[in-house]
């Protein structure tokens, strides 16, 4: 079991850093290479989301942020903060690239410089991210526990977005600790990977990656069992559909 926990910790570290995670696949950066990027990640830690206040008002979202699935009172509501960025944030391409390069600071200089060049070749023009939460219950006939979900949209070179999704999915495919998650209807290049159903962990985790036009989509969900994997897949399907319908990814 200890070996499984170690592999799981490495995978979580690789996928846990929001901005680094979306670039990892695009630059062909392997899971083993970034396993030390965030040693504090390990197993997911559940933090109950705070309930929004009655007078909390949302500013109208535009651009890439406008393509994110909106919060709704009867399902996925505002989730916990995504690090320093809050639950709902957008970054310029320059800011996102700078933060990603900063996250590589512990690597050897030659390797870091090469990866920085690869990041520049992605031509990142913007990042939008949003955190969601659900208290669980009976949804579409499925009894689920409380969970959180983060979605990160990274706009970049179209070919880089497509290869980034493919490379990151291949990395998860190679990790024995994960099994295939639910399929994403209508989006063949989207893949989800989660802990095995027979795992004795109290918490479950699932990582999903896809591309839609020039947008790389990364989703990370975690929650208590029984885990609503189908509900997460449904929200990701809606997210990818929205990207196509809004024309943001065209």
pLDDT band (50, 70, 90) for residue 196: confident
Q: What is the pLDDT of residue 48?
A: 38
79 near 150, Cβ under 8 Å? yes
How many separate domains does the chain show?
1
| Contact of 206 with 229, CB cutoff 8 Å | yes
The phi, psi pair for 128, rounded to 5°, reads -130, 135
Residue with tokens 């998860």: 172
Q: What is the CATH number of the domain that holds 130?
A: 3.40.1000
Strands (E), 6-146: 77-78, 88-92, 126-134, 137-139, 142-144
Residue 56 falls inside a structural domain: no
- Tokens 């196509």 correspond to 244
Measured distance CA(246)–CA(64) in Å, rounded: 10
Query: Is 176 within a domain?
Result: yes
User: Is residue 209 situated within a structural domain?
Assistant: yes
The pLDDT, as a whole number, for residue 61 is 53
What is the residue range of 214's domain? Answer: 64-246
Q: Is residue 26 part of a domain?
A: no
Q: What is the pLDDT of residues 43-76, one digit of tens each?
A: 333 343 443 433 344 444 558 999 999 998 878 9
CA nearest to 74, candidates 2, 30, 138: 138
Within a domain: residue 119? yes
Structure tokens at 64: 């890439």
- Domain assignment present for residue 59? The answer is no
25 domain residue, yes or no: no
Per-residue pLDDT of 200-220, as tens digits, reads: 678 899 999 999 999 999 999
Q: Does residue 79 fall inside a structural domain? A: yes
């Amino acid at each position: 079991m200890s070996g499984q926990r170690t592999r799981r910790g490495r995978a979580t570290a690789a996928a846990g850093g929001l901005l680094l995670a979306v670039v990892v696949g695009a630059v062909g950066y392997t899971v083993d290479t970034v396993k030390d990027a965030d040693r504090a990640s390990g197993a997911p830690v559940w933090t109950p989301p705070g309930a929004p206040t009655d007078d909390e008002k949302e500013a109208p979202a535009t651009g890439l942020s406008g393509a994110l699935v909106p919060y709704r009172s009867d399902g996925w509501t505002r989730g916990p903060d995504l690090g320093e960025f809050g639950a709902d944030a957008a970054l310029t391409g320059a800011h996102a690239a700078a933060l990603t390069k900063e996250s590589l600071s512990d690597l050897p200089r030659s390797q870091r410089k090469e990866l920085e060049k690869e990041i520049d070749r992605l031509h990142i023009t913007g990042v939008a991210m949003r955190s969601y939460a659900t208290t669980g219950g009976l949804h579409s006939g499925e009894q689920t526990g409380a969970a959180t979900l983060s979605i990160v949209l990274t706009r970049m070179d179209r070919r880089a977005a497509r290869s980034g999704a493919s490379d990151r999915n291949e990395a998860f495919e190679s990790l024995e600790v994960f099994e295939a998650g639910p399929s994403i209807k209508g989006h063949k290049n989207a893949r989800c990977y989660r802990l095995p159903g027979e795992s004795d962990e109290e918490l479950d985790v699932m990582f999903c990656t896809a591309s839609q036009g020039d947008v790389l989509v990364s989703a990370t969900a975690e929650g208590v069992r029984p885990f609503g994997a189908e509900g997460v897949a449904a929200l990701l399907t809606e997210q990818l559909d929205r990207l196509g319908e809004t024309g943001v990814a065209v």
